[in-house]
Structure formats: structure tokens, C-alpha cells
A and B are shown apart, each in its own frame.
Chain A
């Protein structure tokens, strides 16, 4: 059976969401139409606004509707002169939640991956280079993911930063809190051992 064109259009549009196939899209569409028309209108407005207005922060490249995002505009963040480099905006949220870091961020929106065709220019490293020229940072913290690609990205940025005479550090990797050594893979364990700290 074919749905009327508008219904079909809605279902097809919903399928663009990750993890949503034909069946889920149909269920979502019917739910919105039957039970939650206000929610549906709100969603459509929010989507429209977001898609039209949200761009990238000129300094850190996170998603924002402003030219420069809240974190980059906060003068308190300047004081500590630290820059944390992460792969995605979700990583910023994760680090913000720890409350440990009070500096600024730079978001790469991915990692170096030659096979996927993602090179240095796709990660905004030219913007990063400008940022390092303009602002004076005491330390750059490389918080890319502990994957081979993440490590390669970290190395590439470290080389870039060495031209600007900035201290570069890499986040530690090891055993997760509440984890069990028995189930931790060998690579992580060997990192944990080689990066051990003296007990004081």
C-alpha cells in the first residue's frame, strides 16, 4: 500500500536519522501525526532554525549560532592559557562534565584518516595554526581518541605546535574506573603499565 505523498515524504525524511530504517521512520511519523502534533511542529521548527542558523565557532569550530561560542568568549578561560584539542563536540561536553579543565578548546571534527580522504586541511589545522599565532598558550592538551588514527592526529598536531614553541601534552590512557584488569585488552594494559606514575 502507498501512503499519501505528504506522509511518504515525512517517512522518507525521517530515514535520514542514524539508526532509523523504514519501519522505525513509519512508526515515528504515525506517532507524531496521531499523538503529538505539537511536538511534531516544535521539532520541525527547531530543525529548521538549527539547520539555517547553526554554524561553526570561528575560534574552536564547535557548533554554535554565534560567531564565537560561549566558551571561547568567556574571559576566565583565557587566564589559564591551556588549549584542549578534541575530535568532536561530544568530547567537549564529556570533558566539561569532569570540571577538571578550565581552558579553551579546539575541535577537529574528525581525525586524520588517509583512506577515507580526511587530510590535515579537513581538520581545520590552518585555523589552529592561526590561533596558535594569535593567542599565547602555555600548554596544548591533545585529547584525541586513543585509536591509531587519533594517535597519528595527535602526532601531527604536536609537530605543528612545536613550530610555535608551545608545550604539548597527551592525555593518559589506561584502565577505566570500575573496570577489571581481567577484561582489559592487552594494548590498553601495556599503555597503562608504560605510563605508570610513582605513588606519592
Chain B
């Protein structure tokens, strides 16, 4: 069924037995998939150079179970050359996908956005907007997109975001971040030039993603805290 060639990225790999790896892939047609790959003993058959993150691959997945076999791997183009802090951003994207996305769910939009984000990281464009649009696409994929209609209709100045309820006006004091209406409207309309709007957006995303992770820490964040 899945013997067709498709584009994929390695998100993470870990050693398995001798000369084998289990890799987590983000693929164009099959979504996130785990697969076993034989890495070979000799220099010529060694595929480890290909099994690096951020390198666009053409792969063929075989097998009926959850865990596929990676039967063919070729590079389609050059790796996205991420340097310095941009690599940490790349790790952040990968960690989000590993920890939040379910397996075997087709997600072509997310795949496309992932490519765009890597491209923009490679070109060293400002990261904040880029990461936010990736997070938005991921939330769409997870069925957690924001519904701004309450914010548009309400006249309140500040809102809380509560999971499964959405934006609620600040009526009583809760111990969670509050967001200004003005900033939320800017986010809804994708007017992200203002620094303060971006900061609100980041806070909002952080709250939502932390909720989705259910208390699990996001390790790639630690790499930025300096």
C-alpha cells in the first residue's frame, strides 16, 4: 500500500540492535511514522550521513505494522544549512512534532509548513513569526485552533485562554496569563509587526503548548535561556 516514494524528514533517531536505527520521520503522505533502518557496517553502505535531521529525503516505507521498514532513502536536495541558534529552533520544531503529533495521520499542510519554516531558518529570517506560524499550523492539525470570534464580539479589554473553552473575558482574577484584546485581534488578523503583539502571541502559544504537553518539559527551550 505504501510502497510509493515520498518526501520525508528525519525528526529523531535512536540506535536499535547492531547496525540498525529506529527513526521518527515526518512524511508528506503518511504523517509522522516510525521506521527501522539498516545502517550497514562498511563505509560504502553507511547511511548515517543521510539520516540527519533537516535533510530532505526521498523514502519508500514498507510493512504493515506501526513500525515500518525504510527500504529506500535518497536525498532530493541539499540539507537546510541551519547554523547557530537556528539549529536550536529546528530542534524545537522537531521536539514539538515528536511530543504532540500522533502517528500515521496524514498532514500535508503541516509538512509544507515544516519545510517553509526550515527554509526560513536556513535563510536566517526573524524566528519569532516563523515559529508562531509553525505552531499555528500544528495546532490546526491537532484540532486546537484558536477561535477569536468571542474576542471580536466582546468589548472587554482583557481575556484569559482556557483550554476547551477558548477566550473568556477577565471577570475574576485567575492565576494564568491574560491577553489584551487589541493584541489578540492583531494575532487573529495576522498583523504581527508589533514587538508587543509578538510577545503576547509567544505567551499565548507557550500556555497552549504547555497545556497540550500536560506538564512534560520541552527541553529545547532550555537551549535558549541564556
Seen from chain A, the residues whose Cβ lies within 8 Å of a Cβ on chain B are 19, 112, 114-120, 147-148, 151-152, 155-156, 159, 176, 179, 183, 185-188, 190
6 sampled A-B residue pairs with Cβ under 8 A: A19-B17, A114-B92, A114-B95, A116-B14, A147-B48, A186-B75
Given contacts A119-B223, A187-B55, contact A155 B95 (CB under 8 A): no
In the complex, which residues of chain B have a beta carbon less than 8 angstroms from the beta carbon of A114? 91-92, 95, 218-220, 222-223
Q: Which of B75-113 contact A (CB under 8 A)?
A: 75, 78-79, 82-85, 87-88, 90-92, 94-95, 98
Question: Nearest residue in A to B83 (C-beta to C-beta)?
Answer: A155
In the complex, which residues of chain A have a beta carbon less than 8 angstroms from the beta carbon of B50? 185
Which 3 A/B pairs are nearest by Cβ-Cβ distance? A114-B220, A114-B219, A185-B49
Is B12 interfacial (CB 8 A cutoff)? yes
Contacts beyond the supplied A114-B91, A115-B91, A155-B83: 7 A-B pairs with Cβ under 8 Å: A115-B12, A115-B220, A117-B219, A151-B87, A155-B84, A155-B85, A187-B78
Contact A185 B75 (CB under 8 A): yes
Q: Shortest Cβ distance from A130 into chain B, in angstroms?
A: 17
Question: Nearest residue in A to B51 (C-beta to C-beta)?
Answer: A147
Interface size bucket, B side? 35 or more
Question: Nearest residue in A to B54 (C-beta to C-beta)?
Answer: A148
Q: Shortest Cβ distance from B138 into chain A, in angstroms?
A: 16
In the complex, which residues of chain B have a beta carbon less than 8 angstroms from the beta carbon of A19? 17-18
Which one, B55, B84, B87, B219, contacts A119 given CB within 8 A? B219
Which one, B82, B220, B226, contacts A159 given CB within 8 A? B226
Is B29 interfacial (CB 8 A cutoff)? no
In the complex, which residues of chain A have a beta carbon less than 8 angstroms from the beta carbon of B220? 114-115
In the complex, which residues of chain B have a beta carbon less than 8 angstroms from the beta carbon of A117? 219
Contact B52 A147 (CB under 8 A): yes
Q: Shortest Cβ distance from A195 into chain B, in angstroms?
A: 13
In the complex, which residues of chain B have a beta carbon less than 8 angstroms from the beta carbon of A120? 222-223
Prevailing SS type, chain A contact patch = helix
In the complex, which residues of chain A have a beta carbon less than 8 angstroms from the beta carbon of B82? 148
Which one, A115, A176, A183, A185, contacts B95 given CB within 8 A? A115
In the complex, which residues of chain A have a beta carbon less than 8 angstroms from the beta carbon of B48? 147
Q: Which of B48-82 contact A (CB under 8 A)?
A: 48-50, 52-55, 75, 78-79, 82
- Name, among A115, A120, A179, the residue most crowded by chain B CB atoms within 10 Å (CB to CB): A115
Which one, A115, A156, A187, contacts B49 given CB within 8 A? A187
Contact A183 B43 (CB under 8 A): yes
Q: Shortest Cβ distance from B163 into chain A, in angstroms?
A: 24
Q: Shortest Cβ distance from A184 into chain B, in angstroms?
A: 8
Interchain CA distance A151-B87 in the complex, whole Å: 9
In the complex, which residues of chain B have a beta carbon less than 8 angstroms from the beta carbon of A115? 11-12, 91, 94-95, 98, 219-220
Q: Shortest Cβ distance from A123 into chain B, in angstroms?
A: 12
Question: Nearest residue in A to B53 (C-beta to C-beta)?
Answer: A148
Is B44 interfacial (CB 8 A cutoff)? yes
Contact A148 B43 (CB under 8 A): no
In the complex, which residues of chain B have a beta carbon less than 8 angstroms from the beta carbon of A188? 49
Interchain CA distance A114-B89 in the complex, whole Å: 11
Given contacts A116-B14, A185-B49, contact A152 B222 (CB under 8 A): no
Question: Nearest residue in B to A194 (C-beta to C-beta)?
Answer: B81
Given contacts A116-B14, A159-B226, A187-B55, contact A148 B87 (CB under 8 A): yes
Given contacts A120-B223, A155-B83, contact A148 B75 (CB under 8 A): no
